[in-house]
Amino acid sequence: MDNQAANPANKHKKILVVEDEQYLRDLYVELLTEEGYTVDFAEDGQIGYQKILDNIYDLVLLDLIMPRMPGITLLKKLEEENYDQKQKQKIVVLTNLGQENVIAEAISMGVRGYIIKSDVTPDKILSEVKYYLDQP
Amino acid sequence: MPNTALGIFNKQHLEGQGLALDDELAKVNKEIYERNVELAIKNRTLQLIRQMYEIMNSTYDAEETARKLIATIVSELKLPKGYIILVDKKNNLIRFVSEFPAPAAGDEIFAIEDGKLIISLSESDNFCVEAILQNRRRMTNSLYDLFVPMLSEIRAANYQKKLGVETSIIYPLAFSSEVFGVMVLALDKHLGFLSSAEKDALKEITNVVAVAIERAQIYSDLQSANIRLEALDQLKDEFISIASHELRTPMTAIKSYVWMVLNRHADTLTPKTHEYLDRVYKSTERLINLVNEMLNVSRIESGRVMLKPAEFDLVELAQDIKREVQAKLVEKNQTLTVENTQPKIPVYADREKVQQVFENLVGNSIKYSPVDGRISIEMTIEKSMAKATVADNGKGISPEDMPKLFKKFSRLESSMAALPEGGTGLGLYISRQFVELSGGKIWAESELGQVTRFIFTLPLYQSLEAKAV
């Protein structure tokens, strides 16, 4: 099957993947890089938190259940820091089914949306990413 | 003259009628008098028992019940002293849980409030222990017998003298032949002064005490069992939640990487390896489904499913489902038609849950109907409910299998053998729960070898509005 050609315009889109599970992190980074995006990653919430504060991303894929700093804690800390509401809209939560209450909590804290990892195929993740990046 | 040693009955009142009559009249009169006394005792006993029932209904705490009962009994019967003593089976001892009246400041005796008055059940010289072990009423003229070996004979004797106790009766408190304590009633008279009506009254009172305390104990046992069960249930929920997350993480990785091979590197595969990996992919999907459904069941059963009902168009949802399953339909060259009697059918339900119901029913149709099979979703409004029918021309369901359909893990014999990819046996169970929680109904109709129809109803959005008006 044909590898999708990388879109050169994607180069300007900066994406951060915050995911503690190495295999999934590697996969998302590889997929998004192949698509031509500029991709950064963090292995846990603590590192992710620092990177979110230090950089400006067009999209952040944030896992919820992570060691050191779970996604919800990260979002709470951003709230405490008075992090820009508009920037917070760039965060999309990565999660597994069965965490509806946590998802609801994340949404109430101003994140953009959520992707259920176990439900979607890699190309669905790409199309979701594209959807979120295309929305103003 | 009958003796009325207890204050149960007002002696003076009847004595005031003392009549000097001839023998025969005196005899009749004496009989009437005795009957009157008996009735008065019964009347007082009934009143006391009614008071005891009020206490019983006011608290579910065994010790509080015991405290209130002994206070009421002792003061109503004008006794010098009363105790309730309960068995502590776990520690093999008996415990004085209530007394009335409480000892005065100078009394050289343990106050029950100190919690110090406990006696081992192996103390065979103690009359309370004896009454419990032998399940029979005991009597003593010495308070010391109640306290062996916690109190010296002299102290017990002093206390008894101060209280003016003549005799103590120790009644076992039993419920269905198991003795769980004793009630001690101390009298300022010898037992011989009690009439048989009074003895009966005391027996009756003891029975009520036993029932009241036993009831309170059962209640508090149930309550603590309930608390324990609730904690266990929560633990189970947490365990399933964590376990399912831990299981899904590696399964998601397997699924995603196999997808990458199948979709991005298919050129490196031989037809054989492609087929094998395809099976790996499908099995992983099935595992993920299973984990999700187990989580769903666990939540349904602990009543933790949260429905978020809102208005949505059932027709639009059905069309979404059609798009979603398109790839699977193509695989088996099946067709799915969506038909609706109204352009829009607005329902009031949790869209995600209804989507799961549709996915499950359509998924079953795809699975169980043959290559080239025809599947349909028909939607209409009937009896102010939305009604959806998912039908296929598969091999149908036998009448014996019908009642098993919506039960947990009850996959039908016929379906098990027929399908390599299998199922979880939970899909229809979950569907039924979701539909019923939404205020609808779900059922199946089938003609063996011809057609299977699964039908569910949901409340219409309008009918809800109409109700509110």
B389: phi then psi, degrees, rounded to nearest 5 = -125, 125
- pLDDT on residue B277: 95
**pLDDT band for position B411 (cuts 50, 70, 90):** low
- Locate the chain B residue with the closest alpha carbon to A28: B256
Mean pLDDT, residues B426-444: 92
Residues in chain B: 469
Task: Report residue B253 CA to chain centroid gap.
Answer: 42
Mean pLDDT, residues B266-284: 93
State the Cα–Cα distance between residues B161 and B189, nearest whole angstrom: 13
Burial B309-346, CB ≥16 within 10 A → b, else e: beebbbbebbeebbeebeeebeeeebebeeebeeeebb
- Looking at A113-127, B291-305, B345-359, which range is the least confident one? B291-305
Backbone region of residue B333 per phi and psi (left: phi > 0; alpha: psi in -120 to 50; beta: other values): left
Q: What is the DSSP letter of A5?
A: P
Chain A CB within 8 Å of residue B241 CB: yes
Residues of chain A whose beta carbon is less than 8 angstroms from a beta carbon of chain B are 1, 3, 21, 23-24, 27, 65, 96-101, 117-119, 121-123
More confident site: B101 or B395: B101
Which of B237, B239, B249, B294 to substitute to test the interface with A, most A CBs within 10 Å?
Answer: B249
Tell me which residue in B250, B263, B288 faces A1 most closely, judged by beta carbons. Answer: B263
Of the candidates A129, A131, A135, A136, the one whose C-alpha atom is nearest the C-alpha of residue A60 is A129
Chain A CB within 8 Å of residue B256 CB: yes
The DSSP string of B118-168 is EEETT-TT-HHHHHHHHTS-EEES-THHHHTTTS-HHHHHHHHHHHT--EE
- For B58, the 3-state DSSP assignment is helix
CB-count burial class (<10 Å; 0-12, 13-18, 19+) for A28: buried
Residue bearing tokens 């206490």: B55
- pLDDT on residue B421: 57
| Token duo for residue B169 | 């009766």
**Residue B8: pLDDT above 50?**
no
Which chain B residues are Cβ-neighbours of A6 within 8 angstroms?
A: none
Q: Which helix (H) or strand (E) holds B271?
A: helix B271-301
Amino acid at B373: G
Does A21 sit within 8 Å of B253, measured CB to CB? yes
Contact (Cβ atoms closer than 8 angstroms) between residue B430 and residue B408: no
Does B249 sit within 8 Å of A24, measured CB to CB? yes
- pLDDT on residue A1: 39
Amino acid at A120: V
Tell me which residue in B257, B265, B306 faces A27 most closely, judged by beta carbons. Answer: B257
CB-count burial class (<10 Å; 0-12, 13-18, 19+) for A136: exposed
pLDDT in tens, B175-194: 877 899 999 999 998 888 88
Chain A CB within 8 Å of residue B244 CB: yes
Chain A CB within 8 Å of residue B323 CB: no
Does A96 sit within 8 Å of B245, measured CB to CB? yes
CATH of A8-134, one of 3.40.50.2300, 3.40.50.300, 1.10.3720.10, 3.40.50.150: 3.40.50.2300
Which chain A residues are Cβ-neighbours of B430 within 8 angstroms?
A: none
A7: phi then psi, degrees, rounded to nearest 5 = -85, 120
| Token duo for residue B124 | 């065979």
Give me the domains of chain B, ranges plus CATH numbers. 11-221 (3.30.450.40), 224-301 (1.10.287), 310-468 (3.30.565.10)
Contact (Cβ atoms closer than 8 angstroms) between residue B437 and residue B456: no
- The CA-based dihedral angle spanning residues B342, B346, B349, B354, taken in that order and rounded to the nearest 10 degrees: 40
The dihedral sign for the CA sequence B446, B449, B451, B452: positive
- For B411, the 3-state DSSP assignment is coil
Which chain B residues are Cβ-neighbours of A123 within 8 angstroms?
A: 263
Does A97 sit within 8 Å of B292, measured CB to CB? yes
More confident site: B259 or B112: B259
| Token duo for residue B135 | 């399940």
- pLDDT on residue B13: 46
Tell me which residue in B244, B245, B264 faces A1 most closely, judged by beta carbons. Answer: B264
- Looking at B74-88, B254-268, B344-358, B418-432, which range is the least confident one? B418-432
Q: How many CB atoms lie within 10 A of CB B391?
A: 21
Which chain A residues are Cβ-neighbours of B253 within 8 angstroms?
A: 21, 23-24, 27
Mean pLDDT, residues B9-21: 48
pLDDT in tens, B40-61: 888 999 999 999 999 999 988 8
State the Cα–Cα distance between residues B143 and B155, nearest whole angstrom: 10
Q: What is the DSSP letter of A90?
A: T
State the Cα–Cα distance between residues B16 and A135, nearest whole angstrom: 103
Which chain A residues are Cβ-neighbours of B266 within 8 angstroms?
A: 1
State the Cα–Cα distance between residues B102 and B107, nearest whole angstrom: 10
State the Cα–Cα distance between residues A33 and A129, nearest whole angstrom: 12
Task: Report residue B296 CA to chain centroid gap.
Answer: 23
The dihedral sign for the CA sequence B286, B288, B291, B294: negative
Contact (Cβ atoms closer than 8 angstroms) between residue A57 and residue A14: yes
Helix axes A45-54, A71-80, angle to 10 degrees: 40
pLDDT in tens, A30-82: 999 999 999 999 999 999 999 999 999 999 999 988 888 888 899 999 888 88
State the Cα–Cα distance between residues B185 and B171, nearest whole angstrom: 8
Domain ranges of chain A: 8-134
- pLDDT on residue B10: 47
Q: What is the DSSP letter of B46?
A: H
**Residue B445: pLDDT above 60?**
yes
Does B292 sit within 8 Å of A27, measured CB to CB? no
pLDDT in tens, B101-117: 988 877 777 666 666 68
- pLDDT on residue B228: 92
Which of B255, B260, B264, B307 to substitute to test the interface with A, most A CBs within 10 Å?
Answer: B264
- Locate the chain A residue with the closest alpha carbon to B262: A1
Residues in chain A: 136
State the Cα–Cα distance between residues A12 and A18, nearest whole angstrom: 19
State the Cα–Cα distance between residues B129 and B116, nearest whole angstrom: 17
Q: What is the mean pLDDT of chain B?
A: 86
Contact (Cβ atoms closer than 8 angstroms) between residue B51 and residue B72: yes
